[in-house]
């Protein structure tokens, strides 16, 4: 990713999390309770605390933004991919993350 792309991605993540600050806090609490070495996907996070915006499921950028924040902070590592379980996601691939 280019430097400009990285700056824009960081800003987008920041804005997504600000607008969903309560959800972001709940996500951090959920993440804190995971054991080191535990693996999860974005779907596990959603299953545990729900979507940031249930009324508009197409605007839930905070899920990816939160995991991106954990990744850039060195708290998680990408360890693989699997097909999504959610029917609405049409069997797309999701990242498997491991808490450090």
Query: Can you give the pLDDT at residue 3?
Result: 80
State the pLDDT at residue 16.
56
Express each pLDDT in 27-72 by its tens digit.
Answer: 999 999 999 999 999 999 999 999 988 776 666 888 999 999 999 9
pLDDT tens string 76-94? 999 999 999 888 778 899 9
Q: Which two tokens stand for residue 17?
A: 């999390």
pTM for the structure as a whole = 0.80
What are all long-range contacts of 81-88, with beta carbons under 8 Å and residues at least 24 apart? 82/41, 84/41, 84/43, 85/43, 86/43, 86/46, 88/57
Q: Which domain holds residue 55?
A: 3-99
- Domain tally, the chain: 1
Q: What CATH code is carried by the domain that includes residue 25? A: 1.10.10
């Amino acid at each position: 990713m280019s430097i400009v792309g990285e700056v824009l991605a960081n800003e987008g993540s920041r804005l997504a999390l600000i607008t969903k600050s309560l959800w972001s806090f709940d996500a951090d609490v959920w993440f804190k309770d995971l054991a080191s070495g535990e693996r999860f996907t974005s779907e596990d996070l959603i299953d545990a605390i729900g979507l940031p915006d249930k009324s508009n499921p197409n605007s839930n950028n905070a899920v990816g933004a939160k995991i991106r924040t954990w990744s850039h902070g060195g708290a998680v590592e990408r360890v693989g991919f699997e097909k999504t379980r959610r029917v609405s996601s049409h069997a797309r691939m999701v990242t498997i993350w491991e808490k450090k």
